[in-house]
Structure 1
Amino acid sequence: MPTTQPESALAPTTQQEQPMLEVAGLEVRYSGVPAVKGISFAVGRGETVGLIGPNGAGKSSTLQALMGAVRTSAGAVRLAGRDITGLAPENVIRSGLALVPEGRHIFGDLSVRNNLRLGLVGRRDRAGIDEDLEQVLDLFPILREFGGRSAGLLSGGQQQQLAIGRALLARPDVLMLDEPSLGLSPTAVDTVFEALEAVRAQGTSILVVEQRAEFTIAFADRTYVLHDGRITLELTPDAAQDEDLLTKAYFGS
């Protein structure tokens, strides 16, 4: 059932109940203009949470703020109970939060293998690297097949798999994705989300921003709707087929 966003920040939690990612009263401004207006939500351990809404709703700004790429004007971000608000992006990554950005941002002149290894830069420890690399290659067999190929020669769907694999090599506690289906064929979208299901099954928490509202609501454990910088609805998977709710999500009516 849909619910509205609570007015107060998140209440303290016990160790057993503590979310993996906790966002409380987050605000982002650009040149004084508010883009994100005091939102609060949480992602549990091993849980997948979606963020949907129209263009300009504040979805990408939220992810950038969580990563420390843009400054927050108010609020707090906690990862496994640790306050990471205001940390530089490289320190956020080393704390256990990774982002697959919109547009993938792979390095086309580097090989697929070397692109993957860039994910090790943000890794907190060196133990288990070979095992994790094998897991990524098992998850995305095309990366094994084309390991020596220039990444710029991959298709859009293959590049997205590479971007996700690179992020996973940092061994994040929370994997965030910004529009992972953007520009991909239906078959490539299915491949990407099947892999994300496997990532979730391994216990990694996921926060995904998507334009495909119906798809995201059905995939995530719960989905928050952003509109004009505020969370206006919380939806469970059974709302995916409710056209009235989807209309309300995107048009506020």
Structure 2
Amino acid sequence: MYRLEVRYSGVPAVKGISFTVGRGETVGLIGPNGAGKSSTLQALMGAVRCTGDVRLGGADITGLPPETVIRRGLALVPEGRHIFGDLSVRNNLRLGLVGRRDRAGSAEDLEAVLELFPVLREFADRAAGLLSGGQQQQLAIGRALLARPDVLMLDEPSLGLSPTAVDTVFEALEAVRAQGTAVLVVEQRAEFTIAFADRTYVLHDGEITLELTPEAADDEALLTKAYFGS
């Protein structure tokens, strides 16, 4: 992604940022509210208009509609999860198959998701709206994985979850990374994200101001500077 820009009614929200996410890498985006993190993910998905050069596997996907972007290999777990509460867990998962480039291997991928998140197998016939927040987040991630993405993006996956549920979600993301899927995660939990990701970019006012490695997770002064600029 190079020189990505997003504007709302002419007001810049993302100001020409550039970064890459390689196969099997996890990249974090952190920063205060309004920094442009979610706008970046929405632009990559084609959900908001943008300019710049967005490439996936060398192919230009800038400005393509979301359904096309998904089929090209990019999936987003949005903030708030956006599951269908009246549908069963099983049927929510099946919706992830709609975005696949190839239906071959669907059954095997479904089994892999159920292995990754055993609670989804346990509650497969339960209405998704009856799940806990952490279980719903696992469902949202599992549904996205069934599209077999090359890059999995997550917007605030820990929001509203208990510490135990957060650990479960990020252990699963570690397994996803180990399988070669690239992960791009937007998070408010700065220290946690920096420690987890291969590298983390700090956004302020729509611009990247710092690039941090896991070694910076324990540097309190640097984290303060990253968020507050002092």
- Whether TM exceeds 0.5 here: the answer is yes
- CA-CA distance at 1:204 after TM superposition: 0.3
- CA-CA distance at 1:249 after TM superposition: 1.3
- In 2, are the aligned partners of 1:35 and 1:228 still within 8 Å (CA)? yes
User: 1:68 is matched with which residue?
Assistant: 46
Where 1:54 maps in the other structure, the secondary structure is coil
Aligned residues: 226
Matches of 1:149 and 1:129, distance apart in 2: 21
TM, length-normalised to structure 1? 0.89
Matches of 1:230 and 1:219, distance apart in 2: 22
Matches of 2:9 and 2:153, distance apart in 1: 26
Where 2:54 maps in the other structure, the secondary structure is strand
**Given the alignment, which residue of 82, 88, 95 partners 1:105?**
82
Where 2:180 maps in the other structure, the secondary structure is coil
- CA-CA distance at 1:241 after TM superposition: 0.5
**Given the alignment, which residue of 48, 57, 60 partners 1:80?**
57
Residue 161 (str. 1) matches residue 122 (str. 2):
no
Matches of 1:36 and 1:97, distance apart in 2: 20
| Deviation sequence 1:184-230 (CA, Å, 0-9, x none) | 00000000000000000111000000000000000000000000000
- In 2, are the aligned partners of 1:113 and 1:147 still within 8 Å (CA)? yes
Where 1:231 maps in the other structure, the secondary structure is strand
Matches of 2:151 and 2:229, distance apart in 1: 30
Matches of 1:87 and 1:170, distance apart in 2: 17
CA RMSD of aligned residues (A): 0.4
Matches of 1:245 and 1:124, distance apart in 2: 42
| Deviation sequence 1:141-195 (CA, Å, 0-9, x none) | 0000000000000000000000000000000000000000000000000000000
Matches of 2:46 and 2:226, distance apart in 1: 27
| Deviation sequence 1:49-101 (CA, Å, 0-9, x none) | 00000000000000000000000xx2110001000001000000000000000
User: 1:144 is matched with which residue?
Assistant: 121
- In 2, are the aligned partners of 1:227 and 1:252 still within 8 Å (CA)? no
- In 2, are the aligned partners of 1:53 and 1:250 still within 8 Å (CA)? yes
- CA-CA distance at 1:245 after TM superposition: 1.1
Where 1:197 maps in the other structure, the secondary structure is helix
TM, length-normalised to structure 2? 0.98
Where 2:52 maps in the other structure, the secondary structure is strand
Matches of 2:172 and 2:109, distance apart in 1: 15
The gaps in structure 2 that reach 5 residues or longer are none
Where 2:18 maps in the other structure, the secondary structure is strand
- In 2, are the aligned partners of 1:48 and 1:221 still within 8 Å (CA)? yes
| Deviation sequence 1:116-145 (CA, Å, 0-9, x none) | 000011000010000000000000000000
Superposition misfits of 4+ residues, deviation over 4 angstroms? none
Matches of 1:109 and 1:45, distance apart in 2: 36
Where 1:232 maps in the other structure, the secondary structure is strand
Matches of 2:150 and 2:182, distance apart in 1: 6
- CA-CA distance at 1:105 after TM superposition: 0.1
- In 2, are the aligned partners of 1:50 and 1:216 still within 8 Å (CA)? yes
Matches of 1:161 and 1:46, distance apart in 2: 20
Where 2:20 maps in the other structure, the secondary structure is strand
Instruction: Provide the identity percentage.
Output: 90
The gaps in structure 1 that reach 5 residues or longer are 1-25
| Deviation sequence 1:33-57 (CA, Å, 0-9, x none) | 0000000000011100000000000
